[in-house]
Amino acid sequence: MVGLGEEHDEIIQVMDDLRSANVDFITIGQYLQPSVKHHPLERYYHPNEFKELELIAKSKGFLLVSSSPLTRSSYHADEDFAKLQKKRLSIN
């Protein structure tokens, strides 16, 4: 989730850390404050910024990237996992 006060270079570092751990699937979505009792939203990301993060992630070798304001890690997880399995098989 982005929008919690992270810096751009921190997002990139997380991508690098995930790739160094052989993670090949990443989801990036917008944090939305559920209530006033939760951490406040620091900033909204423009959809173009999500597209930029998707391109960066793909350039780093992620096989599957879901990056948009409404992306949630569990949404369509079964379909995404099937796509990822196919991509893994095609590179081996």
Distance CA 8, CA 40 (A): 18
Sign of CA dihedral 20, 23, 64, 56: negative
Residue 2 lies in a domain: no
- Predicted pLDDT of residue 83: 78
Q: Once rounded to an integer, what is the mean pLDDT over residues 17-43?
A: 95
- Predicted pLDDT of residue 89: 83
**What is the average pLDDT score of the chain?**
91
pLDDT tens for residues 43-73?
999 999 999 999 999 999 999 999 999 988 7
* Range of lowest pLDDT (3-17, 38-52, 56-70, 74-88): 74-88
Residue 83 lies in a domain: yes
Domain, as residue range, for 43: 8-91
Residue 43 lies in a domain: yes
Residue 3 lies in a domain: no
Specify the pTM: 0.83
- Predicted pLDDT of residue 77: 67
Residue 56 lies in a domain: yes
From 70, 4, 8, 6, select the one nearest 40 (Cα to Cα). Answer: 4
Domains of the chain: total: 1
